[in-house]
Structure 1
Amino acid sequence: MKKDLILYHGSNKAVPNPSVNKSKITNDFGNGFYLTADRDQAIKWAKRKAYLGGVPTLNVYCLLDVDSDLNFLRFNADLEWVKFIIMNRTHSLPNSKSFKQDIIYGPIADGRLFTVIRDVKHGKMTLNEALIKMKPNAYAKQYCLKTKKALLHLKFIGKEYF
């Protein structure tokens, strides 16, 4: 069965030809092209991104044939998710070449992670406490397209300015 998803990317410009190499490697799931199925969340991202320049732009895509040969890594709001995000945010992934996912999907961590990561690193906070502080249920889920293969399944539908 073929399954397609409508996804959004908030930016300060139109992004008809996305790249997996433009985001920060210290994002939740590392370098990749980030999207969400939550339109309102993407609009918030667009407004935040355009704060320093550009026009808040909601880019709309269709992720085609999701049930295809793409390799997914799915996270729930659990300790594995916390560990993965901390490893990405601190550049301490054991061997990034061992991760062969085309798409990583899971909760968005609260943007104020620096103190949480520092406290976990110095033993002042447990991973269970970090999970609560990272507020995984406060935001929509995110998709991070990690490979060119994943981008081949992404069709740009259009854009809206705010």
Structure 2
Amino acid sequence: MSKIRLYHGSQMIIEKPEYNGGKIHNDYGQGFYCTKHIELAKEWAVDEDFDGYVNTYEIDLSGLKILNLNDDKYSILHWLTILLEHRTMRMNGPVAEDGLDFLKKHYHMDISGYDAIIGYRADDSYFSFARAFIANSISIAQLERAMYLGELGEQYFIQSEKAFSKLIFKEYIEVASSDYYPLKKSRDNKARSDFNYITKSLDKEGTFILDLMREERENGTSL
């Protein structure tokens, strides 16, 4: 079925999402971020001292050009590259700088022509794993494990004016901070715990960003 229900957690009621609104340094750039999981949207909606709302929409996906980053033909490095190209982060040392250049060279995707994108949502706490990977501190397998442990869920990124025009507001649901902030905080604490656990162990058989760069140099060809 081409019609699906999407949820957006916010401290505002948003009956008509604004095209070209939102922050430009979010995961996939400027657009409107939603999820099919209402419980996750409720966590996004609140902060420690603020209640929020889950805005509910219906969208007809027929006729839209959609990039699904969870498709088997893409790897976690495609997702990571898009993330690093849009989010701002400090490059800690030459390995990280060269690592980012390597990812852009081999895994860059032009997403400007898509109406919507489906992919992982990188909570701020889990963005530390992205930094650790390009700094050569964790392997690809450890990065994938971190995303799996985080249970980040899929997000739907509404990007084009055409996709915005298909969003139909249905209702809003009030969300109490006292109910959902503890869950949000627990997810953040789990991310920190996972980071400490994963980065303490060396993946001796794993593939690191330096391994990929060395392989390119030794082969003299693109991967």
SS for the counterpart of 2:169 is strand
Structure possessing the higher radius of gyration over alpha carbons: 2
Q: Deviations over 1:31-54 (max 9, x none)?
A: 210111111111111113xx465x
1:89 aligns with 2:96: no
1:67 aligns with 2:62: yes
* Number of equivalenced pairs: 156
State the match for 2:131 in structure 1: 118
State the match for 2:173 in structure 1: 160
Using the size of structure 2 for normalisation, the TM-score is 0.60
Greater mean deviation of Cα atoms: 15-24 or 108-117: 108-117
Q: Is the 8 A contact 2:78 2:109 kept in 1?
A: no
Whole-angstrom CA distance in 1 between matches of 2:36 and 2:58: 10
Using the size of structure 1 for normalisation, the TM-score is 0.80
From the two aligned structures, give the one with the greater helix fraction.
Answer: 2
Q: Is the 8 A contact 1:110 1:135 kept in 2?
A: no
1:78–1:120 Cα change, 3 Å:
closer
Q: Is the 8 A contact 1:33 1:145 kept in 2?
A: yes
Cα RMSD of the aligned pairs, angstroms, is: 2.7
Q: Deviations over 1:51-81 (max 9, x none)?
A: 465x4111110002x121x111101173322
The share of aligned pairs that are identical, in percent, is 27
Whole-angstrom CA distance in 1 between matches of 2:150 and 2:135: 25
Whole-angstrom CA distance in 2 between matches of 1:52 and 1:19: 26
Which residue identity lines up with residue 119 of structure 1 in the other structure?
A: A
Q: Which runs of 5+ in 2 are unaligned?
A: 90-99, 176-223
1:24–1:129 Cα change, 3 Å:
farther
Whole-angstrom CA distance in 2 between matches of 1:134 and 1:111: 12
Instruction: Give the drift of 1:23.
Output: 2.6
Bigger RCO of structures 1 and 2 (CA < 8 A, at least 6 apart): 1
